Structure 1
């Protein structure tokens, strides 16, 4: 098997995705409610070898007992994988981006998950970027933390020291640093102490996903690693995908070439609506990213 790339930048939950890379991490301790992978209506099945796969990854803010697929989301990353060329791209969407949501007027982009679940959320982000995702992956943050711990922690390149009085009182130092599960979560979620706010947070989420994929790369050549990961996911996730489709997605992640990875964050301007802080996204920029990456998952300069 070819070496795996530091995928995103991975997104997902958080990412999350925080998240797509989580499908290749065997973890029998994950609870069934910790991760959901949904195929969007109208999306075709994966055909590894000549398709570009788009996965929208989001971390759910759902509290224990709440439906994570009907809550407000965080760590929003639209990830493209080119299964033929090995290229990959990640487009970060700040969670406070003010966008139209079909049937609900305009609101923060993460409200689409609350209003209509993964289907409406996928369409909303797709309308902003101009690329409709094939899948939406939703995770809880405890799943993300457990995943990072299970692979032995990750390394990220932090461009600036920053802290948070609640999540991380002792600052993350600048440089190449190691993060455990909790620290990776905090690194992905802190916003107020960053000079670029939501924009810098989204970029940090992409750094965490890169670290996850790079760590997974050290185990990617182990016989049966992806197969065990897919079977573990099937036992512990809520999905409408067949095992064969999950297996193909996992292999698509593993085939990404680290030299062909690019990530960008949709920028915008800060504002207030009804007294609430929001971001007016640069729609032209979002569409430019979508136009560049739609057919081959390749992004140009941000």
Structure 2
């Protein structure tokens, strides 16, 4: 990747890089409710509904009680060895893709943790709901706080991209290559969504690939495909071996990306950013069990295990 040399290079190249960063930069220090309206409130509800049957109510009460005990514990100190970056793919007001990219300065290990969007958590100032609704209620800041409280980690920075703009980014990169280990079957009609083998996907195809969830693995299959395409994007970015190409990529994607990562942050953490490629980044996903409340699906994740995984991804 050429980012650091470009950032410290003087003249018009350096100026253009800093100008591009200015269009993407947003500290997101406060809640942003600009995307929230009455129609959205009707769609997702103010909060997750209270269970109507006694058996579910008893189970949910137990889940909340156990989670409340963990939420009430003192927050852990920030681990000075870890750099955690929140990666968000936003589809409308809600976060469709939620990942934590972690780099350990001590072990020089890098990892990526996906958080299923249906994960049942407590959203600050709202209550228990799906984790991806936090973005609708308060933007990046509320989403970040929700994740920090749930996983008991410190998120250093974030990067957010609109999922529709994801297509354009892939096309600018010239597409991405993915390997499909087995035929992916669409359970809705029994057809083959994608055949086994290596595929070179353009933007539209890649977006369809990461959104597909109608196979036997449901949302977990979708998450696996998201991780796969994210790794492919990293690999394509490392191939941007000339200044003109790199600037073209940045100029195309900058209108659709928001981040609080500054050029200084990149320079100070160059080893971390330069290490991100499919060959040396392990991928993990939070798992759990089905929780149905009045016909609405949530993912019940063991909060203790989730915290342990997030805090020890790269140790």
Scaled by the length of structure 2, the TM-score of the pair is 0.67
Alignment of 1:16-95 (within 5 A): 38=27, 52-62=82-92, 71-82=93-104, 86-95=108-117
Taking a change above 3 Å as real, the CA distance of residues 238 and 215 of structure 1, as seen in their structure-2 partners, is closer
User: Which whole-Å deviations, capped at 9, do the CAs of 1:220-262 have from their partners, x for residues lacking one?
Assistant: x435766776677667655555443355567742233655311
Q: Which runs of 5+ in 2 are unaligned?
A: 3-16, 31-79
Residue of structure 1 aligned with 2:306, choices 286, 294, 297:
286
Contact 2:178–2:201 (Cα < 8 Å) also in 1:
yes
Partner of 1:275: 295
Q: Which runs of 5+ in 1 are unaligned?
A: 3-25, 42-49, 63-70
d(CA) in 2 for partners of 1:188, 1:82: 28
d(CA) in 1 for partners of 2:243, 2:85: 26
User: Which whole-Å deviations, capped at 9, do the CAs of 1:173-201 have from their partners, x for residues lacking one?
Assistant: 1232221111111111111x222212221
User: Which whole-Å deviations, capped at 9, do the CAs of 1:64-102 have from their partners, x for residues lacking one?
Assistant: xxxxxxx11111111113457642111111111111111
Alignment of 1:122-271 (within 5 A): 122-162=144-184, 171-191=193-213, 193-219=214-240, 221-223=241-243, 237-240=257-260, 242-245=262-265, 252-256=272-276, 259-271=279-291
Taking a change above 3 Å as real, the CA distance of residues 257 and 243 of structure 1, as seen in their structure-2 partners, is closer
d(CA) in 2 for partners of 1:161, 1:188: 15
Higher RCO structure (Cα 8 Å, ≥6 apart): 1
User: Which whole-Å deviations, capped at 9, do the CAs of 1:93-146 have from their partners, x for residues lacking one?
Assistant: 111111111111100000111112111111212223232211222211122111
Taking a change above 3 Å as real, the CA distance of residues 236 and 72 of structure 1, as seen in their structure-2 partners, is closer
Structure of higher CA gyration radius: 2
Partner of 2:129: 107
d(CA) in 2 for partners of 1:225, 1:53: 28
CA RMSD of the aligned region, Å?
3.4
Structure with the higher fraction of residues in helix conformation:
2
Scaled by the length of structure 1, the TM-score of the pair is 0.69
Aligned length: 247
Taking a change above 3 Å as real, the CA distance of residues 196 and 129 of structure 1, as seen in their structure-2 partners, is farther
